[in-house]
Amino acid sequence: VARSGVVETAVLKLSTALCQMVERVATADPKHADHIRVQNYHCFTESTIPLLSAMPVLRRFHAMGEEAHTEACARYVERVTHKHFGHMLDFASRLESLLQVLSPEERLAVYVNLVMDIGVSIVSHEDTVLGSLAMLKQCKEHVVKACHALEEQACKCYPGEVINLSARQLE
């Protein structure tokens, strides 16, 4: 019984130190903080799964690691999609200034091509950046929703035109 108490205390101290270290490293690099958290908490929770039944003290840290991982995933996906869609919003403001110069057909062609290029770029590029399938799926869902909204917006702006923008191509 005494050994089990010593082991639990050691596991408790190691888990606490590990979580503190992850947070220290993440806060030292704000640009990559969420990505660091995602990778490290994922690794921690995956490696503790086999030990949970033998060491109940780990359950609390496992749950904390899963929660930290989920929160970091959400922030990271939001940041990545905002970063890429920020370019699209910049383009929209530039396109607005071109509306006086371009014909309606030219405007529509430029709009559709840009949206599809950016959408495909995001989906294919983030496969290598995100790593986690859950995060990749979440990112793709954000992109597809945004493309559906853009498709609806294009249809409202150009009611008489046939829009060949299809978010289903990204799915």
Taking the model in full, what pTM does it have?
Answer: 0.56
Please name which of 150, 144, 148 lies closest in space to residue 108, comparing C-alpha atoms: 150
pLDDT tens per residue, the chain (171 residues)?
A: 567 788 888 888 998 899 999 999 999 999 899 999 999 999 999 999 998 888 888 898 899 999 999 999 888 888 887 777 776 666 666 666 666 676 767 767 766 776 666 666 655 655 444 455 566 666 667 777 777 777 777 777 777 776 665 555 555
CA distance 41 to 93: 39
Render the burial of 1-14: b for 16+ CB within 10 Å, e for the rest.
eeeeeeeeeebeee
As a whole number of angstroms, the distance between CA 45 and CA 61 comes to: 8
What one-letter code names the amino acid at 82? Answer: H
C-alpha angle 68-71-73 in degrees, rounded to nearest 5 = 105
Instruction: Provide the 3-class DSSP secondary structure of residue 161.
Output: coil
CA distance 111 to 55: 57
